Structure 1
Amino acid sequence: MYHSSNQHAAQAYRSAAIAVPPLQAVVMLYDGAIMLLRRSLHAAEERRFEDSHAAMIRATAILRGLSHHLDYDRGGAVAERLHRTYNALIMACLRSYGRPDAAARFARIIASLTELRDAWSFVAATAVRPAERA
């Protein structure tokens, strides 16, 4: 299962990166992780625990994919910080699943992801494209 999730995360990242500019792909991946965590919460509320778990695992696979594709040479300290953040969010998801207060915990995780997503969306919207520099 873990190996399959890694392959799924890498494939999702590659597919998004090919179809759209990289910064927009990152925003789309955040959107996917947020949607999956919401789906996990909804399924848990409906007592569809297998669906809930699968959605949570897919969300963590996206975060793992984002973490594995960080460019430490270009990103330096920011890449290191993102790596730690992604890993903390993954662990928070795994530790929160099935807990009595899972809804509140997932709400905080989703809020954190939304904040990151909005920051990347801003960067994507304001980034100067190579053609615009000339």
Structure 2
Amino acid sequence: MTQNATAYLANNAYRSAAVAVPPLKAVVMLCDGAITLLQKAHEAHEAKRFEEGHSYLTRATAILRGLSHNLDFARGGAVADRLYRTYNALIMACLRSYGRPQAKENFRRIIASLTELRDAWKFVEATAGKAKDKARAAESVAGR
């Protein structure tokens, strides 16, 4: 699969997930998917199934690329810029680590970083949900 086709699929995956579920939940789900694919890539590499491992790696980095290309820099400002750099740093770390002698340790750190980022998105999702619930409760009380 060419680089453009992979980027196109990643972009479509993000947009499809964002339409099917709320955007914050979509980001959490996509991070979970990237984590799972990176774990599978490492397992396949350890089992010397290199083509399969590379396929998983390509799919994981495509998800990260899709996340980075769907940031709203106008609304997100410095946070969006930092996320863009973070997603791209994770992509580069994945690509540089695969097939290297320290791949196991590198993938462990990459997955831990991505898990931490996913957990942060989960917290934002939960916090945003609570804020919406409080706003609805306040509106219903004010409407009485």
Query: How does the TM-score come out when normalised to structure 2?
Result: 0.89
Structure 1 distance, partners of 2:45, 2:98, is 9
CA shift for structure 1 position 82: 0.4
What CA distance in whole angstroms lies between the structure 2 residues aligned with 1:129 and 1:16? 21
Higher mean Cα deviation, 121-130 or 75-84?
A: 121-130
What is the RMSD computed on CA atoms of the aligned residues? 1.3
User: Is 2:71 the counterpart of 1:70?
Assistant: yes
Q: Which amino acid aligns with 1:129?
A: K
Equivalent in the alignment of 2:111? 110
Q: Runs of 4+ in structure 1 displaced over 3 angstroms?
A: none
- What residue is the counterpart of 1:122 in the other structure? 123
Q: Which residue of 1 aligns with 2:142?
A: none
**For 1:97 and 1:121, how far apart are their aligned partners in 2?**
28
Cα distance in 1, alignment partners of residues 132 and 77 from structure 2:
21
- The reply on whether 1:52 has 2:53 as its aligned counterpart is yes
User: 1:10 maps to which residue?
Assistant: 11
The equivalent residue for 2:42 is 41
* Counterparts of 1:90 and 1:48, CA distance in 2: 21
Question: CA-to-partner distance for each residue in 1:96-116, whole Å, 9 max, x for gaps?
Answer: 010011011011000000000
Matched, 1:98 2:96: no
Deviation readout 1:25-83 (Å, 9 max, x if unpaired) = 00000000000000001111111100100100110100000000001111000000001
How far apart, CA to CA, are the structure 1 residues paired with 2:18 and 2:85? 22
Identity fraction in percent: 66
Deviation, 1:129, is 3.2
Q: For this pair of structures, how many residues does the alignment match?
A: 134
Larger Rg: 2
Instruction: Give the TM-score, by structure 1 length.
Output: 0.96
CA distance in 1, matches of 2:100, 2:132: 45
